[in-house]
Chain A
Amino acid sequence: MPSRTCSHSPSGFGKSLPEQGLLLLVVLVLLEGSVLPLGAASSPDVSHQDDSHNHKVADHGVNATKKVFPVLDVDYHHIQTPFEISLWVLLASLMKLGFHLIPRLSSIVPESCLLIVVGLLVGGLIKLAGEQVPPVLDSRLFFLCLLPPIILDAGYFLPIRPFMENVGTILMFAVVGTVWNAFFVGGLLYAVCQIQPANPSSLHSIELLHCLLFGSIISAVDPVAVLAVFEEIHINELLHILVFGESLLNDAVTVVLYHLFVEYAGVGTVTVMDGFLGVISFLVVALGGVLVGAIYGILAAFTSRFTSHTRVIEPLFVFVYSYMAYLSAEMFHLSGIMALIACGAVMRPYVEANISHKSHTTIKYFLKMWSSVSETLIFIFLGVATVDGPHSWNWTFVTVTVILCLVARVIGVVGLTYIINKFRIVKLTTKDQFIVAYGGLRGAIAFSLGFLLDQNQFAHRKMFLTAIITVIFFTVFVQGMTIKPLVELLAVKKKQEAKRSINEEIHTQFLDHLLTGIEDICGHYGHHHWKDKLNRFNKKYVKKCLIAGERSKEPQLIAFYHKMEMKQAIELVESGGGVKLPSAVPSTVSMQNIQPKKPPPAKAAERALPQLPKGREEEIRKILRSNLQRTRQRLRSYNRHTLVADPYEDGFSDLLIKKQKMIELEKKIKEMNNYLTVPAAPPDSPTMCRARLASGRDTDFKPAQQQKGNKICPDPQAYSMKPVSDSVPVIQVDLASPQSPDSVNVMDEFRRANQEEDQGLMMKPPQGSSGSNKPGEADTTRDQQRLMRCLSDPGPSADEDEDEPFLP
């Protein structure tokens, strides 16, 4: 990786050698892509000539010369399709790499814009090379291959609680808003086209239904674009979920309107009956999609219950079931997007309780990877398709469309908010409304839908496409680029990087109970009442069916608590080397990349901490500061693309506490001479050691004893813990101990797995593992496995939704 200082130089890109190399590589790839097809065109002739020549030669009889054995032969057609696909994917990935190497650029311009520009360039290059631009944004390719990963990623990691709390608002925006947009834009467009006074342009021939169809295509907010832009602006959770949820749920509306108008555009008239059928159809599409998704989700959850013996293919079930849900829904013309979302959201709590940590990691990474690549490809293809696509520019039509879209959106949002605010507790302010309106980006879905139109039936298809592309460009470029500064300007509340503390968790549950109780007293069967009922149902029946073994009984709070303790334990172990720093920096551990915020560690350690020599503190502070700088540059808040949560957003106090813990551990390590070179701390974090101590289970020190060779560490003293601090009750991290019965599951799993392979993925001390470290590591890895089993990807709302009941 090029060092940070390099890329900060004003002349930035291209200065450092690796970056130049990357640039060269990209150019080569591009050239290759465009030149090879040309080469392919000529090669068949060559081989053909050879053949004919050979035939002739063979005909001449036995004394014909042996044909030259083709030592090197170019047969492009054989591999053409997969090759080109791979080339595109490679290009997309290299582009992503490239953008992140240019830090300033990626902070000004959202990635989506850059990618579209790249697409334009590539398309232009291909055209220049005289080649036929491949119809990359083919609708089938788009809807069947490119879109599902993104939606699945969104659905699987959907923050359920905020979503459900705002579902009414989201539905209003999605359904009513989209319908309003469609009719407004379509209707007014038709009117404008009709009133063209002077020039009898082709616009007059547009029919109303065609306009309405166009309106319905253009009015849908696009999830891909929204995701791409909103990911980078870190807006507060409410707004994010509103716009994002809307973009997901309006698919049903779009599907219905689209099919309705396509059907009837042929006929030419729409009756009231048709309208009524349309409404019914909408309900069927939406609810049917959700139902299909839920069924597949439950199937997936159920399947995952039995996968304890074949852990390797667990992720596959998740992906395949989800994809099948999508395809099944598409088969019935139901809303595939809603099916996918429902499937992901339904299966997640159960699947995560069942699968191994590694599968969990795999799922997370694969989803992120696919959705990332998909998104990149979509934007690049948009650019290419723009260069290629049949265009028919009509000033009036296009400009009016753009204006109408904006106006319709604003009016829609404002009007709907006025109504919605009557029912909401947390009202939507004007700022919120502005962001919601401004965040209504259009994207590739609109384009693909337009592309699907039949040229014969819709004479103005080209014009439509041009207009759609213009709107997309406008929203993505103008709105996408300016939304970030606007958010800053308006001081919209940003996402709070709230560390989910145990107190919050307790209190949230407490509150839920409290409010349910109050509702019962009032006799009102409201929100909380039904939530409570659902939870009870979930706990009593569903979890038993879908979750294997013991975990079905684990209360949510306990799971949450385990998770926190594990995370902390791992952090401490990782940072235990003293010079190793707060482990949010994923220096050694790939899995640590997944780690979201760190909770504040147990403060009892502070009380036990002896006085530090001044020099020591200074040294540590210096180290901390320098690392802080470095990591601030490298890490960013969680977003789909980096998967690394920025720990420093939490605040500096955590660091100081950690520093103290580190010092503690350092002291301990000093006492263990054999480990000076191996920064990995023993499996006993102070927490665990305290646990063992307090529980009086001195026998648990066997692994520690093994580690320390013959030196048996007298437990408490090693940590300079005063007995008084052991009023601290036992911490249940006994799970970590090999003797703990609870860890049996995990242990078995590991015994079976290849130990080496485990550690390949596991946390390793940077210098590699020495033999005697193994038990310690195994222990730690067990902790980590246990932890990672629980860890789920922090969506924009970080940790909050891990292990929550099905519908919290």
Chain B
Amino acid sequence: MGSSSSSMDHIPNAEELMQETGFSAAHLLRLYERFEFLDKDQTGELRPEDFGAIGGLALNPIGDRIISAFFSPGQETVDFPSFVRVLAHFRPNGTNRTRNGTQQEPVNSRTRKLKFAFQLYDQDRDGKISRAELLQVLRAMLGIQVTEEQLQSIAERAIQEADLDRDDAISFDEFKKVQQVSPHPQTPTKETPLHPTEGGR
């Protein structure tokens, strides 16, 4: 681990990023190191293959969706700021560092997190989770052990439960409402890996 000041210089727009995402310098540094680790051919940008190299992600049923969430539509690569911005969604609440009076919602508010999750469902970005999209997710998560009929019925039921305006799809508001009682979609560990005591590969 190099001295923080010199490494920080490598990070483009570090100050800005910190402001925008709320990460501390230490966090940012750590993420940068991780970014560099993933970036095998040192281009300064990540490609889907780089993500795919992560072992756990390959086993993850929604791994490919997560990967594609990093890439804005049309883009082939992810640079560090985008990387950090996406990950900023998962910074736990309560550690919001005061910004210079940003009025917009903090990046890791509950709504933003739900929006992020919603976008993972909603692959075609039309603002609604259609039955087909839900089916895809279910298929991915449940694997091959389940028959098509079962999947259909589950998807059907899920839509019926959530779909309040009867358009046969789940909009973001309906999605939010259903998740009212769910726990915060936060990773409890986002803070801790950046503490020397707990983090570690």
Q: Within B112-168, which residues are at the interface with A (CB < 8 Å)?
A: 117, 120-121, 134, 137-138, 141-143, 145-147, 149-150, 152-158, 160-163, 166
What's the dominant secondary structure at chain A's contact region? helix
Most buried by A among B51, B188, B192: B188
Contact A603 B117, beta carbon cutoff 8 Å: no
Contact B87 A525, beta carbon cutoff 8 Å: no
Is residue A70 within 8 Å, beta carbon to beta carbon, of the partner chain?
Answer: no
A729 and B161 contact, Cβ closer than 8 Å, known pairs A504-B182, A525-B200: no
Provide the residues of chain B in CB contact with A425, threshold 8 Å.
92-94, 184, 186, 188, 191
The answer, among A521, A561, A728, for a CB contact under 8 Å with B66, is A521
A523 and B146 contact, Cβ closer than 8 Å, known pairs A506-B137, A514-B62: no
Nearest chain B CB to A786 CB, angstrom units: 14
Contact B179 A504, beta carbon cutoff 8 Å: yes
Which segment of A89-97, A341-349, A526-534, A776-784 sits at the interface? A526-534
Contact B179 A507, beta carbon cutoff 8 Å: yes
Is residue A432 within 8 Å, beta carbon to beta carbon, of the partner chain?
Answer: no
The answer, among B63, B137, B156, B188, for a CB contact under 8 Å with A526, is B188
Nearest chain A CB to B117 CB, angstrom units: 6
A526 and B179 contact, Cβ closer than 8 Å, known pairs A510-B62, A599-B161: no
What's the dominant secondary structure at chain B's contact region? helix
Contact A516 B60, beta carbon cutoff 8 Å: yes
Is residue A604 within 8 Å, beta carbon to beta carbon, of the partner chain?
Answer: yes
Provide the residues of chain A in CB contact with B31, threshold 8 Å.
522
Q: How far is the CA of A514 from the CA of B56 in the complex (A)?
A: 11
Digitize B14-44: 1 where CB-to-A-CB distance is under 8 Å, 0 elsewhere. Answer: 0000000000000000010010011000000
Interface size class of B (residues with CB under 8 A): 35 or more
Nearest-neighbor residue (CB-CB) of B60 within chain A: A517
Digitize A497-541: 1 where CB-to-B-CB distance is under 8 Å, 0 elsewhere. Answer: 010011110111111011111111111111111001000100000
The answer, among B154, B156, B166, B182, for a CB contact under 8 Å with A557, is B154
Provide the residues of chain B in CB contact with A733, threshold 8 Å.
153
Contact B189 A520, beta carbon cutoff 8 Å: no
Provide the residues of chain A in CB contact with B55, threshold 8 Å.
520
Most buried by A among B158, B166, B199: B158
Nearest chain B CB to A508 CB, angstrom units: 7
A523 and B94 contact, Cβ closer than 8 Å, known pairs A513-B62, A732-B153: no
Contact A503 B146, beta carbon cutoff 8 Å: no
Nearest chain A CB to B189 CB, angstrom units: 3
The answer, among B63, B87, B121, B156, for a CB contact under 8 Å with A522, is B87
The answer, among B142, B157, B160, B185, for a CB contact under 8 Å with A511, is B185
Provide the residues of chain A in CB contact with B63, threshold 8 Å.
517
The answer, among A426, A519, A607, A695, for a CB contact under 8 Å with B189, is A519
Contact B181 A557, beta carbon cutoff 8 Å: no
Is residue B10 within 8 Å, beta carbon to beta carbon, of the partner chain?
Answer: no
Interface size class of A (residues with CB under 8 A): 35 or more
Nearest chain A CB to B108 CB, angstrom units: 11
Is residue B190 within 8 Å, beta carbon to beta carbon, of the partner chain?
Answer: yes
Provide the residues of chain A in CB contact with B156, threshold 8 Å.
602, 604, 728-729, 731
Digitize B83-123: 1 where CB-to-A-CB distance is under 8 Å, 0 elsewhere. Answer: 00001001011100000000000000000000001001100
Q: Within A394-429, which residues are at the interface with B (CB < 8 Å)?
A: 423, 425-427
The answer, among A502, A523, A528, A532, for a CB contact under 8 Å with B161, is A502
Provide the residues of chain B in CB contact with A532, threshold 8 Å.
56
Q: How far is the CA of A532 from the CA of B55 in the complex (A)?
A: 13
Q: How far is the CA of A731 from the CA of B149 in the complex (A)?
A: 7
Is residue B187 within 8 Å, beta carbon to beta carbon, of the partner chain?
Answer: yes
Is residue A21 within 8 Å, beta carbon to beta carbon, of the partner chain?
Answer: no
Is residue A103 within 8 Å, beta carbon to beta carbon, of the partner chain?
Answer: no
The answer, among B62, B137, B160, B186, for a CB contact under 8 Å with A604, is B160
Nearest-neighbor residue (CB-CB) of A562 within chain B: B150
Q: Within A576-625, which residues are at the interface with B (CB < 8 Å)?
A: 599-600, 602-604, 607
Most buried by A among B146, B157, B161, B184: B157
Provide the residues of chain A in CB contact with B59, threshold 8 Å.
536
Provide the residues of chain A in CB contact with B81, threshold 8 Å.
none
Provide the residues of chain A in CB contact with B182, threshold 8 Å.
504, 507-508, 511
Nearest chain B CB to A512 CB, angstrom units: 10
Is residue B178 within 8 Å, beta carbon to beta carbon, of the partner chain?
Answer: yes
The answer, among B66, B149, B155, B163, for a CB contact under 8 Å with A514, is B66
Q: How far is the CA of A427 from the CA of B134 in the complex (A)?
A: 33
Contact B188 A527, beta carbon cutoff 8 Å: yes
The answer, among B90, B155, B157, for a CB contact under 8 Å with A564, is B157
Provide the residues of chain A in CB contact with B157, threshold 8 Å.
502, 561, 564-565, 602, 731
Contact A521 B153, beta carbon cutoff 8 Å: no
Q: List 7 A-B contacts (CB under 8 A).
A: A498-B181, A506-B138, A514-B120, A524-B200, A554-B145, A555-B145, A695-B149
Query: A-contacting residues of B (Cβ < 8 Å)?
Result: 31, 34, 37-38, 51, 54-57, 59-63, 66, 87, 90, 92-94, 117, 120-121, 134, 137-138, 141-143, 145-147, 149-150, 152-158, 160-163, 166, 178-179, 181-193, 199-201
Given contacts A510-B117, A558-B142, 4 further A-B contacts (CB under 8 A): A426-B183, A510-B141, A521-B66, A603-B160
Query: B-contacting residues of A (Cβ < 8 Å)?
Result: 165, 423, 425-427, 496, 498, 501-504, 506-511, 513-529, 532, 536, 553-555, 557-558, 561, 564-565, 599-600, 602-604, 607, 695, 728-734
Q: Which 5 A-B pairs have the closest CB atoms?
A: A526-B189, A520-B56, A729-B152, A524-B193, A498-B181
